[in-house]
């Protein structure tokens, strides 16, 4: 069965980006001029998803407004003949069938996913987290959906290799390789200490899940950080319905932390035709100046 529905959890605090996220959702932080969550929604749509449920919480109104129509803004742009901007704003309201549900208490990612139970029902569904964005074709989630379709059941998590120092920031799998880029996940561990990690294949926030996960999550006890973890639910589910892992061929930006966010901003800006030349020259000058200063310092 082709996956039609996707769930995007967006209820977290965004503490890594405080104070910027004190009064605005971290999902609305822009990469050049586009909020992070829009990249995630566009990836879902490019993958063939028709229905999106965004799990929000307190202080997340801006996300709902972003995907709603703004008649006043459209009128203003029409009057001022800003056709390009007008279509970029108008299209947002028609992107897909987007729904919202609130997570009333923040009890963890597993708990956030559980809020989608009624909306998703009894069909396989996708989950996309906003801490990473993937750029380029074919879309990351679409690659996982193709694999899932070929399997005819079970769940598929996206994985990519991370440096060993970073494994404790992720869910990690114990892989049994089946073929190139494709694994059976023999075990899944949420944020293990480096010496306890079964591999450095990290779960990258893209999943295709068997609906049986809901039943499991309803019983899952708080784990790492006292939160109900999706990884723990998948570990449990793995006993009755197999969990696989796929290593998608795609460019990944870790926008959930500052350095990754800055790298994404710069690389995406360099890809914009209206910015690439001037911004590229500026960066070269900046880096060149820094190197010259370092050389001067080294020479004394």
Residues that bind ligand G1P (CB under 6 A): 109, 129, 131-132, 170-171, 190, 202-205, 229-231, 256
Residue number, 38 or 229, with CB nearest to ligand G1P = 229
Residue number, 77 or 134, with CB nearest to ligand G1P = 134
CA distance 288 to 268: 21
Shortest Å distance, C-beta 82 to ligand G1P:
36
CA distance 101 to 209: 19
Shortest Å distance, C-beta 256 to ligand G1P:
6
Residue number, 53 or 230, with CB nearest to ligand G1P = 230
The secondary structure of the chain in percent helix, strand, coil, rounded to multiples of 5, reads: 45, 25, 35
Shortest Å distance, C-beta 251 to ligand G1P:
16
Helix, strand or coil, per DSSP, at residue 115: coil
Sign of the dihedral defined by the CA atoms of residues 193, 127, 135, 287, in that order = negative
Shortest Å distance, C-beta 129 to ligand G1P:
5
Which tokens belong to 132? 């990473």
Shortest Å distance, C-beta 35 to ligand G1P:
18
Helix (H) or strand (E) holding 7: strand 5-9
Residue number, 148 or 252, with CB nearest to ligand G1P = 252
For ligand G1P, the nearest residue by Cβ is 171
Shortest Å distance, C-beta 174 to ligand G1P:
14
Q: Which of 173, 203, 170 is nearest to 186 (CA)?
A: 173
Residue number, 77 or 250, with CB nearest to ligand G1P = 250
CA distance 197 to 293: 41
Shortest Å distance, C-beta 139 to ligand G1P:
17
Residue number, 77 or 255, with CB nearest to ligand G1P = 255
Which tokens belong to 226? 């006292």
**Preceding amide of 19 cis, omega within 30:** yes
Residue number, 12 or 124, with CB nearest to ligand G1P = 12
CA 85 to each of CA 75, 91, 92, 192, 267: distance values in angstroms, whole numbers, following the listed order: 12, 10, 11, 45, 22
């Amino acid at each position: 069965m082709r996956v039609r529905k996707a769930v995007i959890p967006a209820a977290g605090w965004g503490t890594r980006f405080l104070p910027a996220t004190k009064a605005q959702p971290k999902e609305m932080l822009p990469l050049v001029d586009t909020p992070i969550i829009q990249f995630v929604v566009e990836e879902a749509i490019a993958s063939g998803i028709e229905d999106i449920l965004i799990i929000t919480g307190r202080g997340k109104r801006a996300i709902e407004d972003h995907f709603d129509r703004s008649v006043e803004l459209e009128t203003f742009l029409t009057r001022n003949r800003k056709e390009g901007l007008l279509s970029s704003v108008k299209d947002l309201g028609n992107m897909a069938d987007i729904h919202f549900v609130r997570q009333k208490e923040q009890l963890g990612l597993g708990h956030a996913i559980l809020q989608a139970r009624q909306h998703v029902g009894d069909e396989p569904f996708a989950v996309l987290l906003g801490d990473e964005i993937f750029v380029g074709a074919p879309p990351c989630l679409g690659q996982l959906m193709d694999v899932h379709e070929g399997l005819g059941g079970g769940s598929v998590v996206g994985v990519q290799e991370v440096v060993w120092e970073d494994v404790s920031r992720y869910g990690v799998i114990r892989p049994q390789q089946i073929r190139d880029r494709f694994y059976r996940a023999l075990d899944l561990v949420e944020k293990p200490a480096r010496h306890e990690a079964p591999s450095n294949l990290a779960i990258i926030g893209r999943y295709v899940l068997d609906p049986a996960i809901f039943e499991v999550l309803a019983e899952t006890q708080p784990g790492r950080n006292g939160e109900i973890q999706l990884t723990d639910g998948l570990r449990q589910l793995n006993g009755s319905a197999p969990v696989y892992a796929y290593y998608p061929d795609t460019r990944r930006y870790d926008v959930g932390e500052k350095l990754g966010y800055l790298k994404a901003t710069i690389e995406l800006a360099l890809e914009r035709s209206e910015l690439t030349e001037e911004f590229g020259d500026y960066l070269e000058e900046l880096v060149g100046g820094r190197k010259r200063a370092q050389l001067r310092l080294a020479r004394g």
